[in-house]
Structure 1
Amino acid sequence: MARPKKTDTPDTAQAIELTAGAIDRLTCRTDVKAQAFLRDTKAPGLRVRVTNTGHKSFVYEAKLNRQTIRRTIGDVRAWTIEQARSEARRLAVLIDGGINPAEQERQQHAEREAKSAIAAAQVVTVGEAWAAYVVERASHWGERHAHDHAVLTRPGGELFRGGLTVAGPLHPLLALPLKDLDTATIEAWAQREGQHRPTSARLAWRLLRAFLSWCAEHPDFKAIVPAQNPAKSRRAREALGKAGVKSDALLREQLAVWFAAVRAIGNPGISAYLQTLLLTGARPGELLGLRWDDLNVQWRGLTIRDKVEGERVIPLTPYVHHLLAGLPRRGRYVFSATDKPLSYPHRQHSKACAIAGIEHLTLHGLRRSFKSLSEWLELPVGVVAQIQGHKPSATAEKHYTVRPLDLLRLHHERFEAWILEQAGVLFDASRQPGTLRSAV
């Protein structure tokens, strides 16, 4: 058989000692999508691949567990033949040891990614993780709960009623690296905050615990927070103290002076809000969120959005209807100055209570007053609880007692009439309430 000339195209059916000239002469048919391989005799498994486009590269091919393993080493213009042979021998050693190079590279890549993620997470601040937490969880929260997260982390320093707002209890923690938010740091924070604002600090601590539990389950943060929630500390809990049981409520004898002082408030929206708060027993926040479309004048109902059932419908009693009908419309909300609800009128209520000679009566104390004063009329406990939005306290109450709106109205209107009588407020319940009007 004649020896092939050096200028001939190499025979791909035969293994040869790869040379630069042989690689240069290697070709592949170009009329269809195809590729050809030229094997090397010095490094078993090493091949040069040429495609129909003329591109050439070194590849390694071998069998592992009866499967063909093929790995591209690199372009023939970037790799020398000896470099390609060295890489082929390295791959041969791996395969002889039962290791798939592709799987090894994937594992190494995953390890590098994990280390990179941990390194990036090490510099994440509490504030950055908190922002991600709020974005992910806000859709599961009510309006009030979301507001608490914003208020307790606010930076402060904003002009408000002639003074500057104070930073929220959680704000000092936001600049810390998340990895440094350990038990000792939280205990020191609780000790500081518990000395001058324990109530808001206790709420902040509860939100912080929930946040850290979320971090412990989040793929981006679980590697840098302890498995044991650092906020669940006995010392932190003791530093914040226990919430006292509040008992502020209006006495029957105080109704007359309280109504006189509240009705004299110059802002009719605030005056109506405080009276409605007492006469409905609603939570202060859910009443501020009352909208005009929550008033059902036809069936004399009031829809309250609460934190227990989502919403409840209570009677729209005559005097409350009279108060609300007399307010101008200024947007969606009943108690508003613009298109937003009023702020909590703590200051105006405190002034009215000071004029009436009543001490330490909070807005929530008016809700407590509704329940306490209902005892004078011996109203059914279940009726009072349903109007106020409390959970049923017994199985029969929860599953077998159904009170329609007209039955609630029977008791609620009697309660309202008695309150007005004790307060000395003259009101004709049969009078048609004024038409709801728009602000001029």
Structure 2
Amino acid sequence: MAKVAFTAGRVSGFKCPPDKAQAFLWDVTTRGLGLRATPAGKPSYVFQSEFQGKTIRLVIGAPDAWRIPQAQEKARHLQRMIDQGTDPRTLKRDALAAAAEQAKAAAERIEAEKVAALTVGDAWAVYLTERRPKWGARHFQDHIDKAAPGGVPSTRRGYEKHLTQPGPLAALMPLPLRDLDAPTIEAWAAKEAKTRPTSARLAWRLLKVFLRWCEDQSQYAGLLPAKNPAKTQKSREALGKAAVKKDVLQRGQLAAWFEAVRQIQNPVIAAALQIMLLTGARPGEVLGLRWDDVNTRWKGISIRDKVEGTREIPATPYVLHLLAGLPRRNEWVFSSPTSADGRLTVVNNPHTRACQIAGLDDLTPHGLRRSFKSLTEWLEIPAGVVAQIMGHKPSATAEKHYTVRPLELLALHHEKIEAWILEQAGVQFIPRAEPGRLALAT
């Protein structure tokens, strides 16, 4: 092999002839040091020698990265290893493996640091995205509201110039997830219980389920204590127990309530509230009705039930009358032209104002559901019938496994309930003889 003294000019000017696969230029001053070039690639320094009777060749690096003295020193170092009985290829493999292990450890350390810096809000956002398909709209909105940072203009009527307050969980969202321990949650519970215990209790229940979900996620489990930090006696005692809700319409209050509600200027809201009372359905179930859920031919309404999925209840005469007077703007029965999703989602404020006019205090839309159940006690209606209309789980073996009530049978009882409530309220209503045509009696 021809050898030359490596100079900058000779190295930079070395090319591989186009008719050859590769070409070599060897250094006369350093044993084993060469320059290899191919027609398509850039030249690189190589070291070639013999180890245990076999020729070995190692790549040192490109001339752009290695100056000639550096390449010569590297070649001499590799030759000394061979002279000492060490295979430089093994050493290189070991160095590469060590470098790979270091890179892997560095990547794992960076990932661990990212996970350690993960905030409650980061995990909360992932949780909501994953679980939203399995939740109802109201339940999902509760999670949004309880963690909302606040500070945006209020959408409540008459409060447009006010900014919203942070939700109970907002103070926990910026915390690193690993710092969400029992003492932190207990201090949070004690503070929130002083100003908004009811809202804080709901937020606490949502937080407990969220942390249980985190325990099942490999990327979060190592950041949390072995025991759910929200499930402590101190947190539970600080928030207290919810008082038994007794907001309910008495028989003697029906006339005042109906009069005030029927005077609400928005007929959609007025109809929704009356249907909540007359069906005993949950407010969210009523407001979530679509026109496809109403079967005027067979006098049935399909309710999206949080217990059974769906349940069929009778469409009683006065309820059908109310539905017949509603505008069909879109798919929603209780539509709203100003709502983002085209429907009513809450009716609390109009109902509160109507109750104030009627002289009724603290009656909530959900209290109308309790009112339906309570008012049926005045009639000889089987408890199983009322439970089936309201969507309560059967409470006895006979109800659960042996009693099957068709819609027609439910309607006999439900129409009796509706007629009695209207009678007590002083609402004169006579269904017309023609099917589907109903009117208030004059």
Cα–Cα, structure 1 residues 407 and 271, in superposed 2: closer, same or farther, change >3 Å?
same
Amino acid at match of 2:293: D
Q: What is the TM-score when the length of structure 1 is the normalising length?
A: 0.78
Whole-angstrom distance in 1 between the partners of 2:103 and 2:47: 21
Q: CA deviation at 1:142?
A: 1.7
The answer on 1:155 being equivalent to 2:163 is no
Q: CA deviation at 1:278?
A: 0.8
**2:291 maps to which residue?**
292
Whole-angstrom distance in 1 between the partners of 2:272 and 2:332: 12
Tell me, which stretches of 5 or more residues in structure 2 are unaligned? 49-55
> SS of the residue aligned with 2:150?
coil
**Contact 1:118 1:223 (C-alpha < 8 Å) held by counterparts:** no
The answer on 1:266 being equivalent to 2:265 is yes
Matches within 5 A, 1:13-412: 53-57=40-44, 74-75=61-62, 77-79=64-66, 80-81=70-71, 82-83=73-74, 95=90, 103-157=97-151, 158-159=153-154, 160-163=156-159, 164=162, 165-338=164-337, 340-412=342-414
**Contact 1:155 1:167 (C-alpha < 8 Å) held by counterparts:** yes
| Partner deviation per Cα, 1:160-198 (whole Å, 9 max, x = no partner) | 333322221112222333343332222111111111111
Cα–Cα, structure 1 residues 29 and 133, in superposed 2: closer, same or farther, change >3 Å?
farther
Cα–Cα, structure 1 residues 377 and 58, in superposed 2: closer, same or farther, change >3 Å?
farther
Pick from 423, 426, 432: which aligns with 1:424? 426
Q: CA deviation at 1:38?
A: 11
Q: CA deviation at 1:419?
A: 1.8
**1:415 maps to which residue?**
417
Q: CA deviation at 1:299?
A: 1.6
Q: CA deviation at 1:416?
A: 1.3
Cα–Cα, structure 1 residues 237 and 55, in superposed 2: closer, same or farther, change >3 Å?
same
Cα–Cα, structure 1 residues 217 and 38, in superposed 2: closer, same or farther, change >3 Å?
farther
Whole-angstrom distance in 1 between the partners of 2:57 and 2:414: 83
**Contact 1:121 1:220 (C-alpha < 8 Å) held by counterparts:** yes
**Contact 1:118 1:224 (C-alpha < 8 Å) held by counterparts:** no
**Contact 2:299 2:316 (C-alpha < 8 Å) held by counterparts:** yes
Cα–Cα, structure 1 residues 36 and 259, in superposed 2: closer, same or farther, change >3 Å?
same
Deviates more, 1:369-378 or 1:87-96: 87-96
Tell me, which stretches of 5 or more residues in structure 1 are unaligned? 8-17, 62-68, 436-440
Whole-angstrom distance in 2 between the partners of 1:31 and 1:395: 93
Whole-angstrom distance in 2 between the partners of 1:117 and 1:213: 23
Cα–Cα, structure 1 residues 108 and 363, in superposed 2: closer, same or farther, change >3 Å?
same
Cα–Cα, structure 1 residues 58 and 119, in superposed 2: closer, same or farther, change >3 Å?
farther
Whole-angstrom distance in 2 between the partners of 1:381 and 1:410: 14
Whole-angstrom distance in 2 between the partners of 1:73 and 1:217: 49
> SS of the residue aligned with 1:211?
helix
Amino acid at match of 2:207: L
Q: CA deviation at 1:395?
A: 4.3
| Partner deviation per Cα, 1:280-329 (whole Å, 9 max, x = no partner) | 11001121122222211122111222212332221111110001111223
Whole-angstrom distance in 1 between the partners of 2:140 and 2:174: 21
**2:51 maps to which residue?**
none
Cα–Cα, structure 1 residues 315 and 186, in superposed 2: closer, same or farther, change >3 Å?
same
**2:52 maps to which residue?**
none
Q: What is the TM-score when the length of structure 2 is the normalising length?
A: 0.78
Amino acid at match of 1:161: R
| Partner deviation per Cα, 1:205-252 (whole Å, 9 max, x = no partner) | 122223333344445544444443322222112111111222332233
**Contact 1:73 1:87 (C-alpha < 8 Å) held by counterparts:** no
Equivalent residues, number: 413
Whole-angstrom distance in 2 between the partners of 1:375 and 1:280: 15
